[in-house]
Amino acid sequence: MSMLIPPLILMLAILSCKGGRYRRFIEWGPDLAPGSFCSSRQCCPGRDDSCTVEILGSVCYCDVFCNRTANDCCPDYYVTCQDVAPVTIASCRFYGKDYDPGIVIRDNCNLCTCSLVQLFRYDWVCSNNTCLIDVQRFNQTSETLGWQAANYTRFWNKTFTDGIKEHVGIATESKAQNMSSVQRKLQSDLPTFFDSRNKWTSWIHPVRDQRNCASSWAFSTVDVAADRLSIESRGLLTNQLSPQHLLSCNRRRGQRGCEGGSVEKAWWFIKRKGIMTEECYPYYGGNTTAADQKCLANMETCPNANSSTAKIVLYVTPTYRVGENEEEIKSEIYKRGPVQATMRVPADFFMYQSGVYRHTGAEVGQSELAVRVVGWGEDADENGRKRKYWICLNSWGTKWGEKGAFRMVRGENHLGIEGNILAVHADMKRSLATHPSEGIRDEGLINIYTNKQIVVIKRPRPTAQP
C-alpha cells in the first residue's frame, strides 16, 4: 500500500527554454514525500524566477508560474501555496481497495487505468462505453423511471454495442414498412385488458431464450407462426417451431443467422419452404458455429436423431401488415392471435424488470428487436394518470422482465412498436398435406383433445383447379 518511494530517482535533468525564462530543474516523482520547501520560504505571487528552494541538487519553484506538468513546482507547493491537499499515496482506490499506478481494472463494461491525472494525484482513467447495466440509472427510483430496473448478471460487464450485437437481431429496417396494410372491419367493444395467453392458453407458445445470438428475428417469426397455426388449426398443429431452421437455412439475401436478419425475409422463407419443429431441428443458440451455418433441413429425417416425432414441416400464407393504429392492432390480436412487432432498442431496455416500459433518455441503438405482441391493458402511474400498454413477449428467457414478457407504452408508436406490425395465416392445406401423421393426414374428421375439450377439425377439401 505504501508507495512512498525514497527520493532517489533523479529521472532527468533538462534545460527548458520558455518565454525567456531559463531554468534548470529536475523532474522528481510525484510520490516524493512532501517536505518543507515552500513552507520554509514563502509563496510568490506572479512570476518570480528567484522564488526557488533547493531540492535534490537542483531547485524547485514556489511562484505561481511553476509548471506542474514538468514537475518543477516544489513538492509542497499545492498544499502550502494553493491550499490544495496533496494525495501523497501513489495509488487508486476502487471499492475500498488500493491499486498501483498502471494497474488496469474493469468497472462494469469499462476498463480503467490507474494514472497520474495531475501532480500528486492518481485516479482512474476509464473508457467511456455505454453499459447495459447503467449504475446511475439503476439507482433511480421506479417513480423516476416509471418502471423497475434490475441488474441482470448476463448483462453485467457488457457494453451496449455488445448487447445489441448479441441479443437483438434486425440489422436493417424491415422492408415491410412499405407493404400495404390490410383493411379489416374493426372489432368494437374490445375489453380494456386482453391477453392471448388467457384466451388461447397452451396454444400461445412459451417465452424462449435466444441466448448470445442476435436471433430475435427468427424467434418472433416462428413463435408467431406457431401461435397462429395452433389457433387456426384449433389445436391440431401445436408444435413449437424451429428458429434454428431459419438461422441455418435462411441465409442468403443478407440473412446472417446469429448476426441478425430481416423478419420479412424469414416469413417469405416459411411460406415457400415451410418450417420444421423445434424438436426435430433444435436450437444451437450460436454455441456451435459450424452447426449453426450448415443447413440440415433437406434430409429425410430430423437433424435431431433422437427426435420422437417424424419430420413435420408447417407452412404459412403471405405476410400481411396491420395498420399503424392502436384499434386495428388490438382488433387483429383479439380476433386472430399474436402479431409480430419490431422496435428500436435503447440501452436501458436491457435493465427492464417490470412495469410499463418507456425509454428514459438512454442511448438508442440502430438495430431493432422483433417481439410478439399478445395483448394490451392499462394501469395508473404514481400520479394516478392512466397508462396504456401492450403486452409483448421477448426472447431473452423467462428470468428477464415479467417472466419473459414486457409491457410497453401503447398508442404513441413508442420506439416504433406500432409501425411495423406483421401477421400471417396458417397454410392449413399445405401443412396438413405434408403432415407425416396418418391420423392427421388421412382422416377427414379428426377428434382431438385440447384443454380438456374435444375439438372437431374438418380437413380442408382440396380446392378445384381453376
Binding to ligand NAG, residues 424-453 (CB under 6 A): none
Q: What is the closest distance, in whole angstroms, from the C-beta atom of residue 68 to ligand NAG in the complex? A: 8
Closer to ligand NAG at the Cβ: 3 or 70?
Answer: 70
CB atoms near residue 401 (< 10 Å): 26
Amino acid at 302: C
Closer to ligand NAG at the Cβ: 204 or 302?
Answer: 302
Set of cell numbers at residue 396: 431473452
Q: What is the closest distance, in whole angstroms, from the C-beta atom of residue 11 to ligand NAG in the complex? A: 12
Set of cell numbers at residue 279: 424438436
Q: Does 69 engage in binding with ligand NAG (CB under 6 A)? A: yes
- Among 94, 138, 268, 334, the residue binding ligand NAG under the rule CB under 6 A is 138
Residue 131 CA to residue 66 CA, distance in Å, equals: 40
Q: For ligand NAG, which stretch binds (CB under 6 A), given 46-54, 67-75, 264-272, 318-326? A: 67-75
> Which residue minimizes CB distance to ligand NAG?
70
Q: Does 268 engage in binding with ligand NAG (CB under 6 A)? A: no
Supply the DSSP string of 5-39, one letter for each residue.
Answer: --TT----EEEEEETTEEEEEE---TTSPP-SSGG
Set of cell numbers at residue 283: 436450437
Closer to ligand NAG at the Cβ: 138 or 194?
Answer: 138
Q: What is the closest distance, in whole angstroms, from the C-beta atom of residue 288 to ligand NAG in the complex? A: 11
Closer to ligand NAG at the Cβ: 119 or 432?
Answer: 119
Residue 97 CA to residue 387 CA, distance in Å, equals: 46
Closer to ligand NAG at the Cβ: 117 or 135?
Answer: 135
Q: What CA–CA distances, in Å, run from 108 to 94, 99, 111, 128?
A: 12, 17, 8, 11
Q: Does 15 engage in binding with ligand NAG (CB under 6 A)? A: no
- Among 1, 8, 290, 305, the residue binding ligand NAG under the rule CB under 6 A is 305
Tell which residue, 241, 201, 196, 208, has the closest CA to residue 222: 241
Closer to ligand NAG at the Cβ: 18 or 399?
Answer: 18
Q: Does 294 engage in binding with ligand NAG (CB under 6 A)? A: no
**Residues 349/367, Cβ–Cβ less than 8 Å:** no
What 3-state DSSP class applies to 126? strand
Set of cell numbers at residue 13: 535533468
Binding to ligand NAG, residues 109-128 (CB under 6 A): 128
CB atoms near residue 7 (< 10 Å): 15
Set of cell numbers at residue 400: 428477464
The residue to which cell 435466444 is assigned: 210
- Among 50, 188, 306, 383, the residue binding ligand NAG under the rule CB under 6 A is 306
- Among 50, 136, 308, 383, the residue binding ligand NAG under the rule CB under 6 A is 136
Q: What is the closest distance, in whole angstroms, from the C-beta atom of residue 303 to ligand NAG in the complex? A: 8
Please report which helix (H) or strand (E) contains residue 143, including its range: helix 142-145
Q: For ligand NAG, which stretch binds (CB under 6 A), given 64-72, 273-281, 368-376, 455-463? A: 64-72
- Among 17, 50, 57, 178, the residue binding ligand NAG under the rule CB under 6 A is 178
Q: Does 157 engage in binding with ligand NAG (CB under 6 A)? A: yes
Q: Does 153 engage in binding with ligand NAG (CB under 6 A)? A: yes
- Among 139, 188, 383, 453, the residue binding ligand NAG under the rule CB under 6 A is 139
Residue 435 CA to residue 311 CA, distance in Å, equals: 8
Residue 443 CA to residue 458 CA, distance in Å, equals: 9
Q: Does 18 engage in binding with ligand NAG (CB under 6 A)? A: yes
Q: How far apart are the first and last CA of the chain?
A: 89
- Report the interhelical angle of 326-336 vs 216-232 (nearest 10°): 60
Q: What CA–CA distances, in Å, run from 374 to 64, 228, 341, 349?
A: 69, 11, 10, 19
Closer to ligand NAG at the Cβ: 81 or 446?
Answer: 81
Q: For ligand NAG, which stretch binds (CB under 6 A), given 28-36, 63-71, 209-217, 233-241? A: 63-71
Residues forming contacts to ligand NAG in the complex (CB under 6 A) are: 16, 18, 67, 69-70, 106, 128, 135-136, 138-139, 151, 153, 156-157, 175, 178, 304-306
